């Protein structure tokens, strides 16, 4: 299973081209769109979002992950194997939270370059073929070389920020809920939110925080947009007050 996580836009001209490139090299590929609206150009929140989302995917999954503001520069292209799953993307930090938290991992630099490599669309021209090769279990010789670790490393720690706002207006943070006691108060801008288990537990229009379905702390509101209610956006700091 090849899982796509990009900022290419779900309704734009790019994803279909990536899929054609995948199928060209691996016609039997099963391709899943996980997210194409990762925060444009923003590597750090995307890295934490991907690290949380990938946990629920089965062993053997391969993630083609591209949020790549430095496309066309000399940043490395890499493949990562971490705890039984695979990741292909730019070496700009995007895969580094996963790598830092992994028990067992190996890293390869992609040295292969296609005959026709556009300056701006390595997702199609470079990453997709390599992802297809790994997913089909047959990587041509001399296309990758093992390295000791990623060049850009963001570390394993949680990110105390809003990292994603979904279409309901729920504000996902980079805090893993397992480390936040249910008695804690979450502070974002002027708002102070207490915990609830589920949307229907609070009055309509009221804010709260809860452990979302990916295991992250999420700022939410019942029947309303928490992002609008609280005035928060990606990158805003979130503070945990332990009572």
Which residues here bind a second copy, judged by CB under 8 A? 1, 3, 9-17, 19-20, 23-24, 30, 32-37, 40-41, 49, 53, 56-58, 69-73, 118-121, 124-125, 164, 166-168, 197-201, 210-214, 223
Q: How many CB atoms are closer than 10 A to CB 208?
A: 21
CB 110 to a second copy: min, Å: 18
CB nearer a second copy, residue 83 or residue 211: 211
Closest separation between CB of residue 119 and a second copy, Å? 4
Cβ contacts of 11 within 8 Å, gap of 6 or more: none
User: What whole-number distance in Å separates Cα of residue 225 and Cα of residue 218?
Assistant: 12
DSSP class of residue 88 equals E
Contact between residue 93 and residue 38 where contact means Cβ atoms under 8 Å apart: no
Are the beta carbons of 70 and 7 closer than 8 angstroms? no
Q: How far is the CB of 173 from a second copy (least distance, A)?
A: 14
Residue number, 11 or 146, with CB nearest to a second copy: 11
Give the contacts of 211 (CB within 8 A, at least 6 positions apart). 177, 217, 218
Q: How far is the CB of 204 from a second copy (least distance, A)?
A: 10
User: Is the CA virtual torsion 43, 48, 49, 51 positive or negative?
Assistant: positive
Task: State which residue, 68 or 236, has the beta carbon closest to a second copy.
Answer: 68
The CB-of-28 to a second copy minimum distance in angstroms stands at 10
CB of 125 or CB of 236, closer to a second copy: 125
Which of 191, 154, 157 lies closest to 176, judged by CA?
157
């Amino acid at each position: 299973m090849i899982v796509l996580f990009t900022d290419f836009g779900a309704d734009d001209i790019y994803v279909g081209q990536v899929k054609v490139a995948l199928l060209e090299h691996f016609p039997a590929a099963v391709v899943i769109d996980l997210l194409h609206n990762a925060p444009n150009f923003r590597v750090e929140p995307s890295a934490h979002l991907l690290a949380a989302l990938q946990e629920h995917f089965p062993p053997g999954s391969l993630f083609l992950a591209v949020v790549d503001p430095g496309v066309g520069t000399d940043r490395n292209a890499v493949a990562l194997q971490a705890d039984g799953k695979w990741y292909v993307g730019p070496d700009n930090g995007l895969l580094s939270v996963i790598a830092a938290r992994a028990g067992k991992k190996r890293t390869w630099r992609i040295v292969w370059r296609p005959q026709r490599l556009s300056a701006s669309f390595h997702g199609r021209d470079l990453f997709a073929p390599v992802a297809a090769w790994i997913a089909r279990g047959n990587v041509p010789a001399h296309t990758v070389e093992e390295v000791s670790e990623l060049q850009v490393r963001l570390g394993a720690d949680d990110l105390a920020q809003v990292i994603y706002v979904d279409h309901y207006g729920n504000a996902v943070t980079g805090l893993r809920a397992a480390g936040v006691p249910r008695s804690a108060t979450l502070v974002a801008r002027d708002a102070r939110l207490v915990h609830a288990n589920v949307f229907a537990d609070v009055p309509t229009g009221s804010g709260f925080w809860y452990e979302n379905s990916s295991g992250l702390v999420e700022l939410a509101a019942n029947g309303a947009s928490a992002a609008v209610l609280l005035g928060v956006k990606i990158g805003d700091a979130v503070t945990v007050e332990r009572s």
